[in-house]
Structure 1
């Protein structure tokens, strides 16, 4: 049996009261929420105008929304290489622009570099926000402000300032319009965790520790000034230089010209002529490769420093190797180096053998992409298959292309006792270097190479690099450039790899000069007349900053004491 349920009038009234109460509370809650939302919006706008727009006058206002901060970049002694500065950027609220034509004409009176068509389209659009120009100077900001155009305002932003201008352009790199690193050590800084710090919002300027490099600002200035001078004096298309601590692997200075002012770079970094030739360009290094051929022959024991090697012409794979400088049919190992004998170097490589030759250059890092902090590093090139003829030409610097920085680091390993020390643009102590270095040649090989470097600096092609009191030794290299698959006899890429003080080397100093012309009064444009003097000038200018004291022998020391 089913029973129909009945509600009494009292029960119905009670139920309706409960429901009405619930509806009332819901409406109250909804009203409260709407009120709170409106209140929050008002507060937000007050904060915006009160905290972020303190200078609003006749529709013009300045926004000081916290911008992205970066730590200062400093040299090894704490001198500033890069820092943040505040700048004003101009924007518009197009919906508030009264007359787009008039506003366009007014803004162009202060910023004539802006595209008139693009500016008008921005000002006449229906959007709520449009950037007009970033990074205004204080004078430009004041001039635009004085125009009093409603709907146009400023936002305070942060951009990078580089006190040295172009001096360390390729090392420091650049940031983009949003102050993010896009090249050089600026990019390394971001890729090493700074981007993550920015994402957390913890990158307040006052809390950021300076980012220290191995670069010495004074030495960097010396190197850069010498490259600028050489570029002009030798009428070359490019020049470069590096100073490297052979014990720690620290890059003390590195530059490549042409370059550009980091404070006004524009599209300069994209231009081919502004390539960082020291680490991002590969070249056949010419006779500087005889450094490695000589060391290889000594290290494998196929010769010793007193050995005599035949330098008469010989044939390989249809090619005849002849001596450029005829100094006799037999030369000692040091004389092969001093007279830059192609035939002697090819014979040394032949005695070592093709496979061991390739292994030795790989061991020195000459055939591998450099591992260091700088993002712009090129991969060396080599033959896919090494034949005997390849080994012969590579012995004197043709057939393999590598970077000048690879070359400098490999040379350091041959005069620092035989240790390969990875290069770095960050400070590194000798103890830290000792923990990561690798012995790659015998200590005796290194001692022999120091003696050979010294001989060439005193009697050979390196004489123009020697500086009284500082005893620079090293090797020149003059390589004909390849064009359309053939060597152009009229275009050269020259280099000099020097070490000093040569009796106990502490620094590798290397120069390159691309397509130098013959100087007036000089017999030719080979490296001895340009690349070598460049190194001499770098040593002369940088030695004091590197704390290297000159020595002049017993008589010289006596005279110095008397003085």
Structure 2
């Protein structure tokens, strides 16, 4: 084969080879394009599956959220929302802005039993910090099937840090607020206290809840934002003086109870009110004996202090006047009872002498002149037979005979047969000296203008003028002498009542009271004190009101008059000044 022939043969092979390769390239392109479409479709399917999966997950979550939204709170969680646990109560202040009650932040200890590894070990560790822990009860809680259990409410910061250091799994702390009373028992019966859940139980704490705060809390509408403080009419300085006087009198006379109140005669504001025994609202548990406010929530026969109202009734009904005389020479026998005078003069007495010598016979005759029905109407009008209206929730209802007969009217005239609260007696006493205006007592600030709008005229102003004279007369010449304070014109009426034991009056257990006002020429304040079952070296009941309750009022006025803004007056006309060198 020639050289030329070989070249032609190679070209021919090359030509066929190129055509085959071109055909192969076309076939391969079709193969690659088909595989790419399949892979793209698979990717789209996978993305769709993932999207569907996410949609399903979020649909389940959304459904559960809706379910929780419609579920009752108890089925959602055993732990209250933090904002409800931390809900604030308003501070309680005295009239000068001194804090009587406030909130402080604290924590409470809880457990999640399902996370507790060893209940026995957890109890043993907790007991090293909380030494008074109830081991059996705590073990029961930690070994239960529940998901939440309170272990101890309101821990101290030191206890919290010590428990944290123990490192017990399943143990936690919840922020709460605790009510703190800086004055302790000083005004416990007025301020009241709250329970472990910060809900008002007594006193003005309960009053605050009754004004709508409890309803807001129940609806979950309270927050931890500070609230506007609640200011009371109480003056903490005077309150402390009153309580201190009661404590000393209780100790001196070995009495079972005592009480005192100071009231503004023109506004009805309570400046101070205390009752013993009392309690510390910071730790009310275990002080059950002191929970009862003997001033407002207990009733007593007020004894001869009621003679003030009997004489005022006679004057107001025009049955007697200041120049009238009453025959007190002989005892009165009525319905099998004999009524006689404790300090009888056995002679005819003037009205001031009836008041001064506290004549049972004289007041009984005044009640007889007025009549039984009018007597009952008068005591109702002056507020002694109905439940007193005030902010304090704990107010007792007075007791009286179911049917008033003449014998009832006679004995009630000198303070036996009707039981009222000491606070109620003081409030009625305000009307005797302030011109005859009855004012519902208030523990909130009240101006004189506001008081005039709600005052009820229950006595003729002339009757009130006469009663101020009689109070002053008795303060100078009668049983109120031991309450007089130099520079301050104090007048009042004592009451020594035998107590009822097993349905009978006994003469060795007394309830002594003194109703007073000062300065008596133009009274600004009414003060009442009482002491229950005072004792002396002479035996039970030997301490009469003039020697026990009256000096208590004198001490209160002596120490608080300057704080109350009452200036002393000396000399016959009050123009002399006390000069100290």
Give the TM-score range, shorter chain: 0.7 to 0.9
CA distance in 1, matches of 2:154, 2:495: 45
Paired residues of 1:412 and 1:508 also in contact (CA < 8 A): yes
CA distance in 2, matches of 1:150, 1:39: 28
CA distance in 2, matches of 1:188, 1:38: 41
C-alpha distance 205-466 of structure 1, shift in aligned 2 (>3 A): farther
| TM superposition shift of 1:554 | 6.2
C-alpha distance 349-194 of structure 1, shift in aligned 2 (>3 A): same
Greater mean alpha carbon deviation, residues 280-289 or residues 551-560: 551-560
C-alpha distance 314-106 of structure 1, shift in aligned 2 (>3 A): same
Counterpart for residue 383 of structure 1: 401
Paired residues of 2:508 and 2:542 also in contact (CA < 8 A): no
Please show how residues 245-260 of structure 1 align to structure 2 within 5 Å.
245-260=264-279
C-alpha distance 39-309 of structure 1, shift in aligned 2 (>3 A): closer
1:287 to 278, 301, 304: 304
Counterpart for residue 33 of structure 1: 59
Please show how residues 125-524 of structure 1 align to structure 2 within 5 Å.
125-199=144-218, 203-268=222-287, 270-271=288-289, 274-311=291-328, 312-518=330-536, 524=542
Counterpart for residue 115 of structure 1: 134
Paired residues of 1:413 and 1:420 also in contact (CA < 8 A): yes
C-alpha distance 110-352 of structure 1, shift in aligned 2 (>3 A): same
CA distance in 2, matches of 1:240, 1:210: 28
Paired residues of 1:482 and 1:488 also in contact (CA < 8 A): yes
| TM superposition shift of 1:274 | 3.7
| TM superposition shift of 1:205 | 4.8
Counterpart for residue 59 of structure 1: none
Greater mean alpha carbon deviation, residues 258-267 or residues 411-420: 258-267
| TM superposition shift of 1:196 | 3.6
Counterpart for residue 96 of structure 2: 77
Confirm whether residue 101 of structure 1 aligns to residue 127 of structure 2: no
CA distance in 1, matches of 2:480, 2:472: 9
CA distance in 2, matches of 1:289, 1:365: 13
Greater mean alpha carbon deviation, residues 205-214 or residues 347-356: 205-214
C-alpha distance 71-477 of structure 1, shift in aligned 2 (>3 A): same
Q: Secondary structure at the match of 1:158?
A: strand
Offset from partner CA, 1:487-517 (integer Å, 9 cap, x none): 1111111111110111110111101111110
Greater mean alpha carbon deviation, residues 398-407 or residues 27-36: 27-36
| TM superposition shift of 1:412 | 0.4
Larger Rg: 2
Paired residues of 2:570 and 2:576 also in contact (CA < 8 A): no
Counterpart for residue 13 of structure 1: none
C-alpha distance 373-359 of structure 1, shift in aligned 2 (>3 A): same
| TM superposition shift of 1:558 | 4.5
Paired residues of 1:462 and 1:476 also in contact (CA < 8 A): yes
| TM superposition shift of 1:34 | 3.1
| TM superposition shift of 1:115 | 1.7
CA distance in 2, matches of 1:39, 1:365: 59
Offset from partner CA, 1:308-364 (integer Å, 9 cap, x none): 101121221222222221213211111111111111111111111100000000001
C-alpha distance 200-539 of structure 1, shift in aligned 2 (>3 A): same
Greater mean alpha carbon deviation, residues 27-36 or residues 290-299: 27-36
Offset from partner CA, 1:32-83 (integer Å, 9 cap, x none): 4236679999xxxxxxxxxxx9xxxxxxxxx898512101000111111100
C-alpha distance 523-26 of structure 1, shift in aligned 2 (>3 A): closer
Paired residues of 1:234 and 1:519 also in contact (CA < 8 A): no
Q: Secondary structure at the match of 1:402?
A: coil
TM-score where L is the length of structure 2: 0.85
Please show how residues 4-15 of structure 1 align to structure 2 within 5 Å.
none
C-alpha distance 31-121 of structure 1, shift in aligned 2 (>3 A): closer
CA distance in 1, matches of 2:260, 2:438: 20
Greater mean alpha carbon deviation, residues 26-35 or residues 274-283: 26-35
Q: Which runs of 5+ in 2 are unaligned?
A: 1-48, 68-78
Paired residues of 1:91 and 1:133 also in contact (CA < 8 A): yes
Counterpart for residue 58 of structure 1: none
Q: Secondary structure at the match of 2:271?
A: strand
Greater mean alpha carbon deviation, residues 449-458 or residues 148-157: 148-157
Greater mean alpha carbon deviation, residues 366-375 or residues 131-140: 131-140
Paired residues of 2:84 and 2:222 also in contact (CA < 8 A): no
1:544 to 542, 562, 565: 562
Paired residues of 1:71 and 1:205 also in contact (CA < 8 A): no
Offset from partner CA, 1:145-199 (integer Å, 9 cap, x none): 2222111111110011001100111111111111111111101101112224435
Paired residues of 1:417 and 1:446 also in contact (CA < 8 A): yes
Paired residues of 2:86 and 2:224 also in contact (CA < 8 A): no
C-alpha distance 157-523 of structure 1, shift in aligned 2 (>3 A): closer
Greater mean alpha carbon deviation, residues 518-527 or residues 275-284: 518-527
CA distance in 2, matches of 1:76, 1:265: 25
Paired residues of 2:569 and 2:577 also in contact (CA < 8 A): no
Paired residues of 2:356 and 2:479 also in contact (CA < 8 A): yes
Offset from partner CA, 1:434-469 (integer Å, 9 cap, x none): 000011010010000000000111111011111111
Q: Give the RMSD, CA atoms, in angstroms.
A: 2.6
CA distance in 2, matches of 1:367, 1:471: 30
Paired residues of 2:493 and 2:514 also in contact (CA < 8 A): yes
Q: Secondary structure at the match of 1:553?
A: coil
